[in-house]
Amino acid sequence: MTRRKTAILISGRGSNMGALISAAMQPEYPAEIALVLSNRPDAPGLERAADLGIATAVVDHKEFSGDRQAFERQVDAVLKDHRIEFVALAGFMRILTPFLVGAWSNRMINIHPALLPSFKGLATHERALEEGVKLHGATVHFVSAEMDDGPIIIQGAVPVLDTDTPDTLAARVLEVEHKIYPKALALVAAGKARVAGTRVTGGECDAEPADLVWP
């Protein structure tokens, strides 16, 4: 089996990164985490990755003084140096230009803490509570030019409880994230989940039937 060389791009703590690295430690997992790259030199996830024996790199966006494309060209060069085939964004807090999105078209995936297309952007858990939705969750999708958009690979759902705060909801969604992201990367790396127009064939829904009806 070919293990596809994958880079994870992070900006922060990297808990999803950790879940992907753990999954990829299984010999039969179809992706190998060959690089963790951060735009922030102080991202705690970098140390965690290095401790786990993964190559790390920093491309500090602040050194490119607002020139997003120059920053992305450097990111792209580092990815190519490491012979990366797939990219998984995991809390990578940069808005991407069409340059990087185009360069990695159908080979770059992202995780978002909401059931897209609802609640794009930030503060998803606060907004889900404000709107009173009864189901919330997380989405892994291919990256397209629009932020938090692109063909959906997997969604995982959790019920929203009357007693939830943004923090308790975030914690339950994060558990789902750690489950669905490794599944999604495996489907993509193995060529099972593929883009077909605006949709993905071979994707999954990750929810217990009991989660789908509430209360």
Known catalytic residues are 112
Q: How far apart are CA 1 and CA 163, in angstroms?
A: 47
Q: Which of 90, 100, 180, 193 binds ligand GRF (CB under 6 A)?
A: 90
13 binds ligand GRF (CB under 6 A): yes
111 binds ligand GRF (CB under 6 A): yes
Q: Which of 4, 48, 61, 112 binds ligand GRF (CB under 6 A)?
A: 112
Beta carbon nearer to ligand GRF, 95 or 213? 95
**Residue that is written with structure tokens 């606060």 in the block:** 126
Q: What are phi and psi of 128, to 5 degrees?
A: -65, -40
> Could you tell me if 95 and 147 are in contact, meaning their C-beta atoms sit under 8 angstroms apart?
yes
Burial of 42 (0-12, 13-18, 19+ CB in 10 A): exposed
Q: Which two tokens stand for residue 85?
A: 């085939």
Tell me which residue of 88, 76, 74 sits closest to 5, measured CA to CA. 88
Q: How far apart are CA 102 and CA 46, in angstroms?
A: 26
Q: How far apart are CA 213 and CA 36, in angstroms?
A: 38
Residues 121-160, one symbol each (x = binds ligand GRF by CB under 6 A, - = not), give: ----------------------------------------
14 binds ligand GRF (CB under 6 A): yes
Beta carbon nearer to ligand GRF, 73 or 166? 166
> Could you tell me if 101 and 144 are in contact, meaning their C-beta atoms sit under 8 angstroms apart?
yes
Q: How far apart are CA 112 and CA 148, in angstroms?
A: 7
91 binds ligand GRF (CB under 6 A): yes
Least distance to ligand GRF, CB of residue 134, Å = 20
Q: Residues in contact with ligand GRF, total (CB under 6 A)?
A: 13
Q: Which of 88, 108, 113, 119 binds ligand GRF (CB under 6 A)?
A: 113
75 binds ligand GRF (CB under 6 A): no
Least distance to ligand GRF, CB of residue 65, Å = 25
Q: Which residues bind ligand GRF (CB under 6 A)?
A: 10, 12-17, 90-91, 111-113, 177
